Amino acid sequence: MQSIQAIRGMNDILPDQIGWWQRVEQTARELLSSFGYREIRTPVIEKLDLFARSIGESTDIVEKEMYAFPDRKGEMLALRPEATASIVRAFIQHNLQADPLAKKLYAIGPMFRHERPQKGRYRQFYQIDAEAFGIDDPMLDAEVMHMLRLFLERLGLTGVVLHINSLGCQECRQDYRDLLKEFLEKNVAELCPDCQRRRHTNPLRTFDCKVERCQAILADAPVLLHSICGACADHFESVKSYLDQLKTAYVINPRMVRGLDYYMRTTFEVITDRLGAQNAVGGGGRYNGLLRDLGGPDLPGIGFAIGMERLILLLQQEQSEAQRCPKIFVASLGASARDTCFLLAQQLRSLGLETEIDYEGASLKSQMRRADRLGVRHVLIMGDEEISRGEVQCRDMMNKTQTVLPLEAVAPRLQEIYKEEITENGSR
């Protein structure tokens, strides 16, 4: 019978990879907490309308990439393609505005987009997402990007660049839209059918087009950053000045529009040149107006998301992770020794020592072979003879030495040897 495989573009994260994920998540949690962010967990399925209204009907995400389906009653639902919309919905629904500790929120979890899978681009992928509500001050825009930089620095990631831009506000964007429409009209014959349509529905989205010809034409399009109003320009100047004070390096990228409609003013991306076409490790921006548009209070918002797979791919190119392996193997020889070994293993585990044991009554030779393959540091050996003397043979696999210890002294001795690692990693 043919075995069942995972869905294309959806990956298992296997035990030999999990150390990377845990390190990234732990670093994120620590850093986000120190900046005042608290965790929120929202459902992976929401009403389709939430994403259509926030990300935008004519974005690639909503038009082409959503896992959308009717439920049993015919209501249209979707697997979340990103976290911002869900967090904003939860913020409004639970009136978190009233909770002084819930103005900054973060979430870690899987998102779903039906894109063509390739390296760094998957159909289920994980994001670390941070959102802050109620603050319009450019100080926060700079702080958010500074925090993102610190996070990547803490993980030891090098060679990524922060790109920033301002998309202006509704008003300045209206003027720009007219300019862009005019430009697209002049070049309409050369645009792909999608962009010909976008020039009417949402001209800014032509910048997301993946067709090379369209990209070449758009290289000469008017630049939004050059048409933003005075207030937006001042805001952007302030953001840059705070970034300078925080010594957070950036490049201004006036052509970066981001693929979601809710942004205004500050937008940013962390870019790499080491993942082929998938060059964005993370991105975000300001979205004043989104809360109001989703039926909530008229509060400003800003946030970002990091793609965990892309981040980990980059980390793996630069660093190597020590494989975790159990430290102790308890090997038994004979039926009565087996039970004593079983109890000893439980005692060691309860002290936080990673311990493996044979459950199958294998020969001593094959148990030793397994201990070797697992890469353990100590093997404890007990046969009927040791049991009758109340002793254990303790073999140090690294130094190739063997000592005899009284049974009751084994646990305290190993606890002493591994003391530092137990306190470092917590009791596991």
Indicate the residue among 50 and 362 with the shorter CB distance to ligand HAM. 50
Angle ∠(91,96,99) on CA atoms, nearest 5: 155
Residue with tokens 């957070």: 248
In the complex, what is the shortest distance from the CB of residue 387 to ligand HAM, in angstroms, rounded to a whole number? 55
Burial string for 313-343 (b: 16+ CB within 10 Å, else e) reads: bbbeeeeeeeeeebbbbbbbbeeebbebbee
What single letter denotes the amino acid at residue 341? C
Residue with tokens 């043919």: 2
H/E stretch holding 232: helix 230-245
In the complex, what is the shortest distance from the CB of residue 335 to ligand HAM, in angstroms, rounded to a whole number? 53
Indicate the residue among 131 and 354 with the shorter CB distance to ligand HAM. 131
Bridge partners (DSSP) of residue 110 are 126
User: How far from the centroid of its chain's Cα atoms is residue 161's Cα?
Assistant: 18
In the complex, what is the shortest distance from the CB of residue 172 to ligand HAM, in angstroms, rounded to a whole number? 20
Indicate the residue among 83 and 330 with the shorter CB distance to ligand HAM. 83
| List of residues contacting ligand HAM (CB under 6 A) | 82-84, 113, 115, 121-122, 125, 127, 129, 131, 259-260, 280-285, 303-305, 307, 309-310
- Rg of the Cα trace of the chain? 28
In the complex, what is the shortest distance from the CB of residue 66 to ligand HAM, in angstroms, rounded to a whole number? 12
In the complex, what is the shortest distance from the CB of residue 126 to ligand HAM, in angstroms, rounded to a whole number? 8
In the complex, what is the shortest distance from the CB of residue 148 to ligand HAM, in angstroms, rounded to a whole number? 11
Contact 55, 261 (CB under 8 A): yes
Indicate the residue among 125 and 250 with the shorter CB distance to ligand HAM. 125
Judging by DSSP bridges, how do beta strands 264-271 and 45-47 pair with one another?
unpaired
In the complex, what is the shortest distance from the CB of residue 356 to ligand HAM, in angstroms, rounded to a whole number? 35
Indicate the residue among 20 and 122 with the shorter CB distance to ligand HAM. 122
Contact 259, 84 (CB under 8 A): no
Contact 364, 331 (CB under 8 A): yes
Indicate the residue among 115 and 175 with the shorter CB distance to ligand HAM. 115
Task: Report DSSP letters for 184-227, one per residue.
Answer: HHHTGGGS-HHHHHHHHH-GGGGGG---HHHHHHHTTSPPGGGG
What single letter denotes the amino acid at residue 349? R
Indicate the residue among 45 and 411 with the shorter CB distance to ligand HAM. 45
Indicate the residue among 129 and 356 with the shorter CB distance to ligand HAM. 129
In the complex, what is the shortest distance from the CB of residue 377 to ligand HAM, in angstroms, rounded to a whole number? 38
User: How far from the centroid of its chain's Cα atoms is residue 346's Cα?
Assistant: 35
